[in-house]
Amino acid sequence: MNRQELIAQIRRKRSYLCVGLDTSIDKIPPHLLEGDQPVLTFNKAIIDATRDYAVAYKINTAFYEAQGIEGWEIMEATLKHIPADCFTIADAKRGDIGNTSEQYAKTFFETYPYDSVTVAPYMGKDSVAPFLKSKDKWTIVLGLTSNEGSRDFQFLPVSDNELLYEKVLKTVASWGTPDNLMFVTGATRTEQLAHIRSILPDHFLLVPGVGAQGGDVASVSKAALNKDCGLLINASRAVIYAGNGADFAEKARMAAQELQEAMALYL
């Protein structure tokens, strides 16, 4: 999916909601455990329930890799079930020496045809460049994360007037374009979001942390929307675990609709 197609979906659905499929078998409704492939059944129901309100789905690959071959098969089946008009994200946080990154890019852009993959930039340009070669694919680079440990490194000064995360954003942005690069910026870092938008006026930002982690649509939107929207706000637990009974899919739909309606006010 290219930039204009993504923007068109945002405008059509009046939404920039990304639903995170961080599905844990320990958290899905108990009645699903009585059937075959309960995780896949759950994922399909969540996708069907939220597809009218979401423009993107983010599959956290760790939740599937941990299950071995069956997990990879469930991930593939989940990916195939996502509607073609929705942007797909492999939340894999890869990044390694060039020839290894080439294989990671092949994995998530060809073998499993995601629209995008999250990448860690710590090893530098040659670890990111292979992901940027694919047409109409996106590399989503970790910029400023919302976890507690982010302050261990991301806020270290690298000069008198620049922090490490700022250096990362500026440097990585020069390796690609707003057509193939996005950046992860946590919703709980709203005090930095406006500043990040000033550094990256045209790039899309993937913003996790809305809902269970304490971020909210209003503060993120006010700080970081641009002329093309420029945002994908991810909600995982707040949507997929909105209910735990037989009506779990309806509860997920209601949670997604509530977020979409909040987003529509800013479009």
| Catalytic machinery residues | 93
Q: How many other CB atoms sit within 10 Å of the CB of residue 200?
A: 23
Give yes or no for a contact between 1 and 238, defined as CB atoms under 8 angstroms apart.
no
Q: Tell me phi and psi for residue 181, to 5 degrees.
A: -125, 130
CA 35 remoteness from chain centre = 29
Judge contact between 114 and 79, C-beta under 8 A: yes
φ, ψ at 36 (rounded to 5°): -80, 145
Cα separation of 5 and 150, whole Å?
33
Spatial separation of the C-alpha atoms in residues 13 and 50, rounded to whole Å: 12
Q: Where would I find the H helices in the chain?
A: 3-13, 38-50, 62-65, 69-81, 98-106, 125-128, 164-173, 190-199, 217-224, 237-240, 248-264
Rounded distance between C-alpha atoms, residue 237 and residue 210, angstroms: 9
Q: What are the distances in angstroms from CA 177 to CA 45, 153, 200, 260, 262?
A: 36, 26, 11, 28, 29
